[in-house]
Amino acid sequence: MIIKVDENISQENMEKLLKRVEELNLKPHLSYGTEYTIIGLVGDTSVIDVNRVLTIEGVLDVQRVQEPYKRASRKFHPEDTIVKVGNVEIGGNNLVMMAGPCSVENEEQIMTAARIVKKYGATMLRGGVVKPRTSPYAFQGLGMEGIELMKKAKEETGLPIICEVMSISQLHEFGPHVDMIQLGARNMQNFDLLKEVGKTNIPVLLKRGLSATIEEWLMSAEYILAGGNENVVLCERGIRTYETAYRNVLDLNAVPMIKKLTHLPIIVDSAHSTGKYWMVEPLGMAGVAAGADGLMVEVHPEPDKALSDGPQSLKEDVFKHLMENVEKIANVLGKSFKAK
């Protein structure tokens, strides 16, 4: 940690500052410049609250040198983490394809969707039973009834299932029935929920918040890891920008950066980041090419009857085409994946 101090800081404040540093078991190294004095702190600074230092008069700025996360950092865990979800492995040399409808709507819909995604090589089945809806007047999901339908689809296809949970009570209600839970963008900083997830061993897909920084995202992963749950997979799903031509901008810079900073796997959701079905394939292929450990897409037997996210849902033929191309790109990268 670097502390930038005004050259005219009072002796009293300088002493206060150095005393505070000492209390934190850190060793200060001072460099006196013509305009500023710089104090370099050496030791474990990850737990320091920057604000505690910033409030001393004469302190102009505090910059971290060390990442504020530890368990999520590749520094302390150089090898890739591989998360096991049923018989599926996420991370390492594997490519995982999570596909299925945005929302579980009824038995026929989910069973048909499950058969389609299985047919072309998907490795996991997704399907929401609760939906974070901007409008209180929109379809809100089937709840536990939807979980039962997902289990039925799993029974037939053998695909592990992943469902979103939005609250602690849903975590406890749905958690024991699914193979993986998803924490949505709006809950990335629902810290009470993160802590509770940390107490379980359920594999979790942690979506990036709508305008979360990479660091905030990894800090949220740290919350879960710090609780003892190491089965964390990250999911890039687009960030909010000024651009209005599409819903979000898929941030593929995040893929190599995440690979550099952390050992956790990352998958790419090319549906929510675009909002349009014809953008899902090119951006899905781009995600795999950028090095993602998998994709999440939405498949619906009849998108124009979907109760949610119809415009970004893929029909059978579009999904088939995507899967064939994903296989080819995976081959280029030396990853094991087979569309059927």
Residues 96-155 that bind a copy of itself (CB under 8 A): 132-139
Q: Which of residues 274-333 bind a copy of itself (CB under 8 A)?
A: 274, 278-279, 282-283, 285-291, 303-304, 306-311, 313, 325, 328-329, 332
Contact 221, 69 (CB under 8 A): yes
Q: Which of residues 35-74 bind a copy of itself (CB under 8 A)?
A: 35-36, 38, 40-44, 46-47, 49, 51-52, 54-57, 61, 63, 65-66, 68
Options 78-86, 87-95, 117-125, 239-247: segment touching a copy of itself (CB under 8 A): 239-247
Minimum CB distance to a copy of itself, residue 313 (Å): 8
Query: Residue 129: exposed, middle, or buried by beta-carbon count in 10 A (0-12, 13-18, 19+)?
Result: buried
Neighbour count for residue 286 (Cβ, 10 Å): 16
Which among 3, 31, 32, 1 has a CA at the least distance from the CA of 16? 3
Contact 99, 299 (CB under 8 A): yes
Q: Which of residues 189-228 bind a copy of itself (CB under 8 A)?
A: 189-192, 195, 210-211, 213-216, 219, 222-223, 226
Place of tokens 């061993």: 201
CA distance 257 to 270: 18
Choose between 70 and 152: whose C-beta lies nearer to a copy of itself.
70
Minimum CB distance to a copy of itself, residue 331 (Å): 8
Options 85-93, 151-159, 174-182, 246-254: segment touching a copy of itself (CB under 8 A): 246-254
CA distance 26 to 302: 61
Minimum CB distance to a copy of itself, residue 99 (Å): 18
What backbone phi and psi angles, to 5 degrees, belong to 266? -135, 130
List, in sequence order, the alpha helices (H) in 24-88: 50-54
CA 234 to chain CA centroid, nearest Å: 3
Q: Is 25 in the site for a copy of itself (CB under 8 A)?
A: no
Q: Is 252 in the site for a copy of itself (CB under 8 A)?
A: yes
How many binding residues for a copy of itself (CB under 8 A)?
Answer: 106
Choose between 152 and 168: whose C-beta lies nearer to a copy of itself.
168
Options 32-40, 84-92, 106-114, 144-152: segment touching a copy of itself (CB under 8 A): 32-40
Q: Which of residues 78-97 bind a copy of itself (CB under 8 A)?
A: none
Choose between 98 and 252: whose C-beta lies nearer to a copy of itself.
252
CA distance 237 to 226: 24
Minimum CB distance to a copy of itself, residue 40 (Å): 4
Exposure pattern of 303-329 as b/e (b: 16+ CB <10 Å)? beebbbbbebbbbbebbbebbebbbeb
Choose between 37 and 88: whose C-beta lies nearer to a copy of itself.
37
Contact 274, 250 (CB under 8 A): yes
Q: What is the H or E stretch that residue 151 is in?
A: helix 144-157
Choose between 123 and 312: whose C-beta lies nearer to a copy of itself.
312
Q: Is 187 in the site for a copy of itself (CB under 8 A)?
A: yes
Task: Find the Cα–Cα–Cα–Cα dihedral 195, 142, 101, 162, rounded to 10°.
Answer: 30
Options 106-114, 143-151, 152-160, 162-170: segment touching a copy of itself (CB under 8 A): 162-170
* Residue from 240, 336, 338, 340 in contact with a copy of itself (CB under 8 A): 240
What backbone phi and psi angles, to 5 degrees, belong to 317? -70, -35
